[in-house]
């Protein structure tokens, strides 16, 4: 990393807890934003760097006839299959981390004081080691499931399975520097995030 390394905040949270909205708001405050999901999607888009290895490991069953990745089929192959999920993560995560480090360096060169590393699996992948502090967003379990049902058009059983597949909120909250409950009016959540961001800027200076 560069000598003028920005202050790095890891942002995480369970599915449906408002992480994307929080990241978008922090960008309006002036934070540089590095999005692990966006990087992952680019690595698996047409011509993406991860595709050859995914094809080698999972075969043509994970691809459409036109050669593009069939995300639905791949999801079915790995969901509930621990060895398959770990194999996929072993392909994707190192490439995502390398790209994130490059983007962090680019942000430093552009003079960013605070970089938000937006990573759903922040603690699971060990990326919290790259951060000066970490923030997690959380919700009451039932409200989290309700949001996922509405947002993704899933059955309650499917939404429960998605939530259960992630690290429990209690564990994330224990590990994070700050835990923010998003079960409140958006203005209040934004006020909390702005306070945390302003404090991070001061630490950067």
At what angle are helices 71-78 and 82-109 packed, to 10 degrees?
120
Cα 10 from Cα 183, distance rounded (Å) = 21
Q: Mean pLDDT throughout 132-141?
A: 96
Quick: pLDDT tens for 180-198: 999 999 999 999 999 999 9
Assign 13 to helix, strand or coil. Answer: strand
- Specify the higher pLDDT residue, 163 or 173: 173
Residue with tokens 């981390």: 97
- 2 — pLDDT class (breaks 50, 70, 90): very low
- 162 — pLDDT class (breaks 50, 70, 90): confident
Q: Mean pLDDT throughout 18-37?
A: 95
Mean pLDDT of the chain, nearest integer: 92
- 3 — pLDDT class (breaks 50, 70, 90): very low
pLDDT of residue 152 exceeding 90: no
Distances (CA, A) of 10 to 3, 24, 80: 20, 14, 27
- 79 — pLDDT class (breaks 50, 70, 90): confident
Q: Which residues contact 112 (CB under 8 A, 6 or more apart)?
A: 6, 31, 32
Q: Are 103 and 34 in contact (CB under 8 A)?
A: yes
Domain ranges of the chain: 7-204
CA atoms within 13 A on the CB side of 131: 26
Q: Mean pLDDT throughout 57-84?
A: 91
Cα 33 from Cα 140, distance rounded (Å) = 27
7-204 in CATH: which number?
3.40.50.300
Cα 158 from Cα 10, distance rounded (Å) = 28
pLDDT at 11: 98
CA atoms 183, 164, 90, 129: torsion sign: positive
pLDDT of residue 1 exceeding 70: no
Give all strands (DSSP E) within 46-183, no chain letters.
114-118, 133-138, 178-181
């Amino acid at each position: 990393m560069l000598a003028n390394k920005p202050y790095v905040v890891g942002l995480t949270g369970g599915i449906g807890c408002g992480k994307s909205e929080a990241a978008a708001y922090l960008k309006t405050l002036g934070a540089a934003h590095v999005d692990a999901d966006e990087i992952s999607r680019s690595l698996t888009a047409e011509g993406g760097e991860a595709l050859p290895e995914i094809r080698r490991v999972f075969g043509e069953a994970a691809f459409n006839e036109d050669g593009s990745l069939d995300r639905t089929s791949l999801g079915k192959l790995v969901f509930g299959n621990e060895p398959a999920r770990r194999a996929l993560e072993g392909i994707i995560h190192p490439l995502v981390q390398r790209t994130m480090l490059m983007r962090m360096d680019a942000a430093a060169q552009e003079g960013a004081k605070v970089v938000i590393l937006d990573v759903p699996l922040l603690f699971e992948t060990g990326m919290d080691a790259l951060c000066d502090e970490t923030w997690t967003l959380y919700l009451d379990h039932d409200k989290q499931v309700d949001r996922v049902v509405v947002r993704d058009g899933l059955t309650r059983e499917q939404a429960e399975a998605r939530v259960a597949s992630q690290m429990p909120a209690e564990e994330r909250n224990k590990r994070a520097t700050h835990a923010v409950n998003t079960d409140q009016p958006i203005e209040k959540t934004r006020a909390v995030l702005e306070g945390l961001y302003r404090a991070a800027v001061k630490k950067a200076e």
